[in-house]
Amino acid sequence: MTMKFTLSSNQAHVLDKFVDTNKLILMNYPTGTGKTFVSPLLVKKAWFIHKKKLKTLFISPPGLLFQVREEFLGKGFLERDIILIRSNQAKSFDFLNTRHPIIIIAETALVYHDRILDFNPELLLVDECHKFKTHSSARTKYLHSFVSRCKSIKYKVIMSGTLLTKNILDIWAQAYILDLGARLGSNYYSFKNKYTYERRDNPHCVHQTKLIYKDDAVSMLIEKLMDMMFTASIEVVLKDVVKPKEYLIKMKLNEEGSELYDRALADIKLELEELVNTRGVKVLGSNKVIDHFATKLATLRQICNGFVYRTPDAEDQTNGEADKRQVYYLKENIKMKYLEKLLHKLVIVEKRKVLVWSIYKANERCVRELCKRMGINTVMYRSSLTQSVRNSMVKRFCSTDPDSPMVFFSHPACGGTGLNLQVSNASIHLSFDYNWGTFKQSLGRNVRKGSEIHDRIDRYYFVVDKTMDEEVYKNIDNKNKFIKSFMNRLINEKEA
């Protein structure tokens, strides 16, 4: 039986260039545009060109292993040719004598990269390669060691919808996977010094530096990456998907929240002033001091989200004011108050399925109780659940059954990568952290191939006005503007 697939022009372009002209490919298309979809076709073409089943190693985030296998099976690959390897299985798996030509392995299993070398892969594919952006992380070091020592690899393909998550320095570790430093150098610090420098406004605070790009640094990087990168704007790749509308919902803390916030902020200022007066301004450059005040500032963000982490004393435990996670919940959560109104409009009135994102696990209880009180069936998707349970949750949420869940709640780092949630056309971000990558990935869960069924897609951002909550949102927004500017320049140069 002949299997037919509908490819976009961008996917077809990658497929045409693969093997024929490029042995190294960096696919940097927006989230949800079918990078994983086209991967099995790249493998199939490589096998066809070489007239044999090339040994293929596919490195994937742990939560996407089964989804990747389904993509391969859906493209006509035989089940007996494919095996999934989780981290704990890699330690005992016989890579040397395996008869499976395709191994789909969790990125966490790279800790056993010495054993994986026995497989001698000829084709390497890395999904969500932005997970390897940090040059000093263990997983990146393992993968760099693997690709530099594995001499059997003929073709490499790395894929991500968020190539940059912070600044242009993120690109070095990912490019090294492909060319072992041929384009951007083999040393991260040499690369950093070549394209950037740091400006220190306060000479006493060594950590308070601002990264400045040297003249033409972005243009030079684009020129070096042009020959192996395939990219396009989301407007082109998802031209049939309606452009999402974004709504920034600002709110103010209630009396209890304001009192707690002002008291916590005053304590931080007082402690900081006493520290500087007794030990001098140089102490602010200490890692220990920075970590201490980072924890204090995190408390301000927690108050904005309706709770405070603390160590309960005996009286609190007796009165039941703190749960086993040592979380003190405010009597009235202002964000839950706004969420109740919004869910009533979106779910109860308009019958729309909604994604709710929060970086705090403590918000799970609040959202669950709110939805239960409103009579809304909800899915609580979290990393502590087994993969089969999580897959079942996604399947239930995406079902067209009238009794299927209407709200999908998760942390952006857990449910924000790889999931296909096109059934939803509304998303709500209750809180943010400084990781732009996980935030951007979460936005792509319901704006992707298949979202053409919706005539509108809405995004709602909850921010407490004039607080740390707003400062974090501004940080994310600034990163978004810079990275979007860089990618637009890259796309324009590529098209030219």
Q: Is the pLDDT of residue 162 over 50?
A: yes
DSSP labels, 42-63: HHHHHHHHHTS---EEEEE-GG
Q: Is the pLDDT of residue 250 over 50?
A: yes
Q: Which CATH architecture has domain 9-236?
A: 3-Layer(aba) Sandwich (3.40)
Amino acid at 458: D
- What pTM was estimated for this model as a whole? 0.82
Greater confidence, 262 or 38? 262
Contact 65, 387 (CB under 8 A): yes
What average pLDDT does the segment 484-493 reach? 70
Q: Is the pLDDT of residue 2 over 70?
A: no
Q: Which CATH architecture has domain 245-251+332-466?
A: 3-Layer(aba) Sandwich (3.40)
Predicted pLDDT at 14: 63
For residues 68 and 457, what is the distance between their CA atoms, to the nearest angstrom? 27
pLDDT, the chain, mean: 83
For residues 215 and 387, what is the distance between their CA atoms, to the nearest angstrom? 47
Predicted pLDDT at 351: 93
SS3 category, 434: coil
pLDDT band at 170, cuts 50/70/90? confident
Residues of the chain with CATH 3.40.50.300: 9-236, 245-251+332-466
Q: Is the pLDDT of residue 317 over 80?
A: no
High-pLDDT (> 90) share of the chain, %: 39
What average pLDDT does the segment 171-193 reach? 90
Pairing of strands 102-106, 307-309: unpaired
For residues 357 and 408, what is the distance between their CA atoms, to the nearest angstrom? 8
pLDDT tens per residue across span 320-369:
444 455 788 888 899 999 999 999 999 999 999 999 999 998 899 999 99
